[in-house]
Amino acid sequence: MTNDGPSPDELIRAALQRTAACPPVESLELYLHKADPRIAAHLQSCAYCATELQLLESFHSAEISAEDAAAVNAITQRLKRSASQERRPPQEQPKSWWRFGGSWLRPAMLASAAILVVAAIGLQLRRGGPPELRHIASQTNDVFRAQTVTILSPHGDLQTPPEDVRWEPEPSAVTYQVRLLEVDGHELWTAKGANTNMPFPPAIRALMVPAKTLSLSVEAFNAQGQKVATSGIVSFRILQKIYPR
């Protein structure tokens, strides 16, 4: 008996690898639209192609789960900001990022930037004094930019208890925290999520009795867990029903 053979993990990997019998991705794309018995038979016996087909189908469908929506929105906003540069007037229009990346000028620009950095460091050293310290507040993990989350609903006077709280997305946020407060600041309920709405649990809706003013706040956090925006306090109340005599 010997142990010179492949390890179990290597065996598993080799057994699941793509083989010469696997169809190209173009054939799998066709299979998405029209069933082909030969491809179907191959998929029954090939985990590699079955996986590839699922990934391809998922990419084509572009379906975005509710929990990914806020993050995907933030990423597409960044992509749009890059692309929107090309809509500026020609005299101030920089090349789009995808053209800039291939420019022959890039090495020269990098070299110029390096010279400027060296010159700046040299000047700083000649001044001799200690560098200015940043204010301590700038090192905290709190809000970096004066951004606000706009609560769309509920606010003001309402006829019935709201089903949920809704707000506008903050591009750099991946999670949000909602807080429901009484007027004295006592927290009734809080919840976190990635969507731009949050349903109120039935037990909390039951607390929204007529004429009682309640307050809401929404805070947005980025992928590092830093707070990037806040809504401030928004109030609402349920109107009392007036029954005719």
82 binds another protein (CB under 8 A): yes
Contact between 22 and another protein (CB under 8 A)?
A: no
Identified binder of another protein from the candidate list 20, 35, 37, 65, rule CB under 8 A: 65
Q: Contacting another protein (CB under 8 A), which of 40, 66, 83, 111?
A: 83
Q: Shortest Cβ distance from residue 224 to another protein (Å)?
A: 8
Site for another protein in 107-166 (CB under 8 A): none
Task: Confirm or reject binding of residue 36 to another protein (CB under 8 A).
Answer: no
Peptide bond into 89 cis (omega under 30): no
**Taking CB under 8 A as the rule, does residue 72 contact another protein?**
yes
Residue-wise burial string across 10-27, b where 16 or more C-beta atoms lie within 10 A, e elsewhere: eeeeeeeeeeeebbeeee
Q: Which CB sits closer to another protein, 176 or 200?
A: 176
Closer residue to another protein in complex, CB, 59/243:
59
Q: Which is nearer to another protein, 18 or 38 (CB)?
A: 18
184: contact with another protein by CB under 8 A: no
Give contact residues for another protein (rule: CB under 8 A).
Answer: 1-9, 11-18, 25-26, 29, 45, 47-48, 50-51, 54-56, 58-60, 62-65, 68, 71-72, 74-76, 78-80, 82-83, 86, 96-99, 101-102, 172, 174, 222-223
